[in-house]
Structure 1
Amino acid sequence: MGNPLHIPIREGKNNLKIRGEIAMELKRLCLTGIIIVISAMTLLQAATAAQDASISVEPAYTEVWQGDEFTVNITVDPAEYDVYAASYTLYFNNTLLNATSLDKGPFLTQDGNPSNIQDPPTGIDNTAGEIKYGEYRVGNVPGITGYGVLTT
């Protein structure tokens, strides 16, 4: 390794001014860095606080015996969004289950405004083991923001 580089500093008015400018620049950089970190933390916190809308099967689990009939609800949680339409495809094991009915729920009409069922693809296909459903609000109406049952 070589010898360290030594730069002589002469004491005087100009050296103090240069040191003061460097100190001010370091303070400015530190403050800028702190502001950037705080901004990033705020954005990250806002992003993690936001939730996505979700569609769920309720109950998620049920125990039944061969030949028993049971009902499940397909529910929608809009989180923080306005929902104007919803659709899903529910797959099931057609060697164990047979779907017998598909009924429209009150989710998209809970405020009294009408909705239409999408046809096709809405319907039960026991051969394929799937239920398809689509529904949308009619007219220039606000979106739904409350949790509810889409179908039963």
Structure 2
Amino acid sequence: MVYVAFVIDVFARRIVGWKVSASMTTQFVLDALEQAIWQRKPAGNRALIHHSDRGSQYLSIRYTERLALADIDASVGTVGDSYDNALAETINGLYKAEVIHHLGPWKSMAQVEWETLRWVDWYNNRRLLAPIRYRPPAEAERAFHADQSRLDIAA
């Protein structure tokens, strides 16, 4: 059995952190969070919110302390709210259908990790997503920042 955690930037639906593990521990999800923090470098950005389900690893003292240290506000879903984690569940479902079920059976965790890396790259850079005007997440982000630069120059 292997577990995969994703950290998703909701703005452009980009996967900014991920981790494959043989166990569901706090360190497992902390590693995915660290990758996201490193990629986004959020220090001083008080507008960041980290939303998760009520899994014990996300509610652990170590995890919530790390969020606070990075100036990220925590938001935890409510029990039984099916809409609360819809984006994450959609991405998890796509991942399971397109990687886990499609490419398995798996011989090792390293194999799952490699295919997850390939899928995340494809998802972020080539997958077209309807909610962001049929663009890949990385392209949607670039377009947004280009528009902001043009607005700054015009101002």
Q: Name the TM-score class by shorter chain.
A: under 0.3
Task: Please report the TM-score for the alignment, with normalisation by the length of structure 2.
Answer: 0.22
Which of 1 and 2 has greater Rg? 1
Higher relative CO (Cα under 8 Å, sequence separation at least 6) belongs to: 1
Task: Please report the TM-score for the alignment, with normalisation by the length of structure 1.
Answer: 0.23
Task: Point out the structure with the larger helix share.
Answer: 2
Task: Point out the structure with the larger strand share.
Answer: 1
